[in-house]
Amino acid sequence: TLTMFPLLLLLLPVAHAIGELPYRPVLTQNPPLEGLTTASTFVLDQPRCVFGEYDNADIWLVVALDKAASTFNNTAAPGTRETAFQGFPDPVSAYMTLNATLANYPCPKPAGDITVLRVGSETSCAQDEARPTCNGPLPGPGPYRVKFLALQGSEPVAETAWSMPIMLRTAKPPSSISTTDGGHSAGMIAITTILSILFAILLAGLVAMVVFRSSDSCGGSSTFSKPESVTVRRYNTHHVYDQPAARL
């Protein structure tokens, strides 16, 4: 029995350590984007030139609540109840989405390629439990943490570090929006001023036109005198009669 024990150990599956990659996901900064963070989305740089040694792996984005990042189970399979977006943030504290292959993240970046990922951009599948890997809108301001995880089959083979905490924007309540002049932007004030000047010019033009027409019809009229009567003399037409021929 003792001699068989080492053989049994050899037959046991060998546990592979997950590769810890020296990369931390970050909000994109190049080029600067409008809406880098919104009330339900944020934009990350793609992990270019990060998973070069894992040609056959599927690369997933893990989105977790800040407080739950350290307890995420790397062996949890994507597309299950344990990692479904529809259960986030309770009872699911971290979900997996935006799967891609290494071909989607070529290195170096070809010119003109879009190299960002907008997290939270899909609204059509947010309530669809048939799509547990939905990249749905984030349910609150956070904070959140994200990392990329590479799987070969169902086995995790490499992962990045967790990002720094990411906070989303919060909508202002209507009661906090100022209605005084101090709350208006400089652009709105400039537009209002320009429109006021144009209206004043138009009004002045209309007034000048009315005054001009009124003066032309009253003070500027001409007096026509009665023309002198013209006497037309009547002439009698003298008829010329043939004179009788002279007698010889």
Cβ-count burial of 144 within 10 angstroms (0-12 exposed, 13-18 middle, 19+ buried)? buried
Q: Say yes or no to pLDDT of 54 above 70.
A: yes
pLDDT for the residue numbered 14: 45
pLDDT average, residue stretch 122-146: 97
The ranges assigned to domains in the chain are 19-170
Distance (Å, rounded) from C-alpha 213 to C-alpha 142? Answer: 69
Q: Say yes or no to pLDDT of 9 above 70.
A: no
Q: Say yes or no to pLDDT of 38 above 70.
A: yes
* 89-98, 136-145, 180-189: least confident range: 180-189
Tokens of 39: 């009330």
pLDDT digits (tens, 9 = 90+) for 65-93: 999 999 999 999 999 999 999 999 999 99
pLDDT for the residue numbered 174: 60
Tokens of 60: 């997933």
Highest mean pLDDT among 46-60, 161-175, 205-219, 224-238: 46-60
- In whole angstroms, what separates CA 1 from the centre of its chain? 69
pLDDT average, residue stretch 184-200: 80
* 215 band by pLDDT with thresholds 50, 70 and 90: low
Distance (Å, rounded) from C-alpha 36 to C-alpha 42? Answer: 6
